[in-house]
Amino acid sequence: MSDRQDAGTPPRHEMDPIERMVNRVLVVGVGLAVALMAVGIVLSLLDGTGLPAHVVALGDLASRLGSFDPAAYLSLGLMVLIATPFVRVAGSIVAFARQHDRRYVLITAVVLAVMCLSVALGRA
Structural element, H or E, at residue 87: helix 70-98
By CB under 8 A, how many residues form the interface with other proteins? 60
Closest CA to 76 of 53, 87, 60: 60
Residue 17: count other Cβ atoms within 10 Å of its Cβ: 13
Region 102-121 residues binding other proteins, contact defined as CB under 8 A? 104, 107-108, 110-111, 114-115, 117-119, 121
**Alpha carbons 40 and 3: distance in angstroms, whole number:** 51
- Shortest distance (Å) from residue 68 CB to other proteins: 15
Q: Which is nearer to other proteins, 58 or 63 (CB)?
A: 58
Measured from the CB of residue 47, what is the shortest distance to other proteins in angstroms? 13
Residue selected from 63, 85, 94, 98 as contacting other proteins according to rule CB under 8 A: 85
* Separation of alpha carbons 48 and 44, rounded Å: 6
CA angle, 71 then 53 then 58, to 5°: 45
Binding interface with other proteins (CB under 8 A):
1-2, 4-5, 7, 10-11, 13-16, 18-19, 22-23, 26-27, 29-30, 33-34, 37, 40-41, 50-55, 57, 71, 74-75, 77-79, 81-86, 88-89, 92, 104, 107-108, 110-111, 114-115, 117-119, 121-124
